[in-house]
Structure 1
Amino acid sequence: MKLSVLVLDGVFDTGLTVLLDTFSTANELAATQTSAPPPFEVKLVGVRKRIRTAQGFSIEVESADTVHRSDWVIVPALNAKQPEPLTEALARRDVRKAITHLQTWRAEGIGMAAACIGTFLLAEAGVLDHGEATTTWSLAPFFRQRYPTVKLDDSRMIVASHGVVTAGAAMGHLDLALWLLKQTSPELATLVARFMLIDTRASQAHYIIPDYLAHADPLIERFERWARDNLSKGFSLKGASEALSVGTRTLQRRTEAVLGKSPLTFFQDLRIERAQQLVSVGVGMEKIASEVGYADTATLRTLLRRRLGRGVRELRAEIR
């Protein structure tokens, strides 16, 4: 498999090296099992001859014009963690030139892959329009506002659709690399994962911090404060709307637009987050259920396992 990694100034060093180290390890392990050529041919390409990473390292890269012989183009993240610096980065001349290349390569049928902030470049190029995708959960509200035609599911770690694959936050570069390995050899991917102690994750939902997302919008921030104050009372869309002095449709539309979920689902996210915190410090289940608005512990236990993939015993064991 021929892979071209598109690198630009300010690339997130960890994301780039994770990709390169994973494919390099795959080639080394494959060589111990067969005399065939290495399964992965990886090269760094860019719109300049030399780029400087976010940590200041200088790297020489090949011309982007050589990509036409590749099976996949991989876009690692830029090191921009907030909307304003990311907006500035996306407007840079070298980034706009790279986006033009992405559009050309997509039209030629080359596979497209990106992780974390790299997904924004695919979205800018229109590669993700009307398709499914994921991105770093921390910038999901900004992504939804900027690219409303993309069907974003930021709870998922990997989304693959029609020759395009996107991965979630920072260390999602690992999940992306393993996904690409599996396309060539599931057995080799498993070997690499065990050799490098990599645990793949189907979801990044467990890592999402609800109140961090709420700060992306003034109304949602107010709703989040109201919700935390009313966890034990249960959810009422009418009650929340009246308390915030907005219409129910306004609150519904805004939470869908910013968070990609209904007010009730966000309220339940906060319940789960609070319940998980209380479980971790040893609070009894009856008290927890009462504090987060559940009439019985059985319902709460079931919800915790369904949403987190772990039961109360496992959650408490993780803290020990």
Structure 2
Amino acid sequence: MQIVVLALGGLFDTGFAATLEAFSTANSLSAALLGGATLFEVTVVGMRRTVRSGQGLSIPVRPVTPELKPDWVIVPALKTVTPDTLLPALARPDVRDAVMQLREWQAGGARVAAACIGTFVLAEAGLLDGREVTSTWSLAPLFRQRYPKVMLDETRMLVPSDIGVTAGSAMGHLDLALWLIRQASPELAMLVSRYLLADIRSSQAAYIIPNHLAQADPLIARFERWARGHLQRGFSLQEAAGALATSPRSLQRKCQAVLGRSPLGYFQDLRVERAQSLVRAGDLSLDAIAAEVGYEDGATLRTLLRARLGRGVREIRADLL
């Protein structure tokens, strides 16, 4: 499998390195333990002769040449964590050149992959329009605003599509690399994950901070404050809209545009976040925690936590061990 890793200036060092290490480990294990040939031919390509990482390290890159025909192109994340730093980065000449090159490669049959902020580069190229994707949860509101034709679900860690695959925040690079290795050999992917002490995670939901997402819009920030004060009560869209001096329809639309979910869905996110915090504290029974966040009993809450977070009460408490 011919893989091109597209190195852009100011990339996220850890994600870039984790991607390369995963494929290097896969090739070593394939040869040493499985008696197989090298499965992944990885080439690091740059849009400029000189490429420096976000930490200022020089990255050896090859130029783009006509004979380079990748099976997969991976776009690591840029080291930007806020809209104020991301938007100027997306406007850089080397990124615009990368967008054009990605379109050319994809039109030529290459599949494309990206993690975290790298997904914004794929979206800039228009390659994600009309497709389900994931991205870094922390910039999900900006992603929705900038790319309304893309179907974003930031709760998922990996989302395959007909043109490739997208992965979630930061260390999602490793999940992405393991997913690609698994397409070649599930047995090899399992070996790599054990050697690197890394498992493919199905969800980002447990890591999302609802308060962070709410700050992207003044109305949503006010809704969040109101909701946190009403977690023990049943949710009423009419009551919430009235308290915020807006209409139910306007609140519904704003939540969908900024958060990608309904007001009730976000209200439930806050309940889950609060319940998860109380479970970790370990001071209350599950029934008492359920009452604190407006559910009838612990069994209902247990089911909700498993559905939303992909793990149960024992796993949540084990996080602290």
Short-chain TM bin: over 0.9
Q: Which one is further off, 285-294 or 308-317?
A: 308-317
Shift of 1:303: 1.6
Instruction: After TM superposition, give the deviation of residue 310 of structure 1 in Å.
Output: 3.1
In the alignment, which residue of structure 2 is the partner of 1:113? Answer: 113
Are the structure 2 counterparts of residues 114 and 254 from structure 1 closer, same or farther at C-alpha, using a change threshold of 3 Å? same
Q: Describe the superposition over 1:212-246 as per-residue Cα deviations: whole angstroms up to 9, x where unpaired.
A: 11111111100000000111122100000000001
Alpha-carbon shift at residue 67 of structure 1 (Å)? 6.8
Residues 39 and 240 (structure 1), Cα distance of their counterparts in 2 relative to 1, 3 Å cut: same
Give the Å deviation of 1:315: 2.8
What TM-score do you get using the length of structure 2 for normalisation? Answer: 0.96
Tell me if structure 2 keeps the 8 A contact 1:68–1:105: no
CA distance in 1, matches of 2:219, 2:149: 23
Q: Shift of residue 317 of structure 1?
A: 3.8
Q: What percent of counterpart residues are identical?
A: 59
Q: TM-score, normalised by structure 1?
A: 0.96
Q: Which runs of 5+ in 2 are unaligned?
A: none
1:64 Cα deviation after fit: 1.9
Q: How large is the Cα RMSD of the aligned pairs?
A: 1.4
Aligned match of 2:287:
286
Q: Which amino acid aligns with 2:304?
A: L
Map of 2:79 onto structure 1: 79
Compared with structure 1, are the counterparts of its residues 217 and 267 closer, same or farther at alpha carbon in structure 2 (3 Å cutoff)? same
Shift of 1:312: 2.9
Q: Provide the residue aligned with 2:242 in structure 1.
A: 242
Shift of 1:183: 1.4
Q: CA deviation at 1:163?
A: 2.4
Question: Counterparts of 1:143-182 in structure 2 under 5 Å?
Answer: 143-182=143-182
Q: How does 1:42-81 map to 2 (within 5 A)?
A: 42-65=42-65, 68-81=68-81
Q: Are residues 239 and 194 of structure 1, via their aligned partners in 2, closer, same or farther at CA, if it must alter by over 3 Å?
A: same
Structure 2 counterpart of 1:315: 316
Code of the residue aligned with 1:87 in structure 2: it is L
Q: Quick one: which amino acid aligns to residue 315 of structure 1? A: I
Change (3 A) 1:191 1:313: closer
Change in 2 beyond 3 A, CA 1:70/1:193:
same
What is the CA-CA distance between 1:102 and the residue it aligns to?
0.7
In the TM superposition, what is the alpha-carbon distance from 1:66 to its structure 2 partner? 5.0
Contact 1:4 1:67 in 2 (8 A): no
What does the per-residue CA deviation read over 1:163-198, in whole Å, with 9 as the maximum and x for residues that have no partner?
221000000000100111011111111111111111
Task: Provide closer, same or farther for how the CA distance between residues 67 and 304 of structure 1 changes in structure 2, counting only shifts above 3 A.
Answer: farther
Say which is worse superposed, 298-307 or 88-97, in terms of deviation.
298-307
User: Contact 1:9 / 1:52 at 8 angstroms: preserved in 2?
Assistant: yes
Structure 1, gaps ≥5 residues long: none
Matched, 1:8 2:11: no
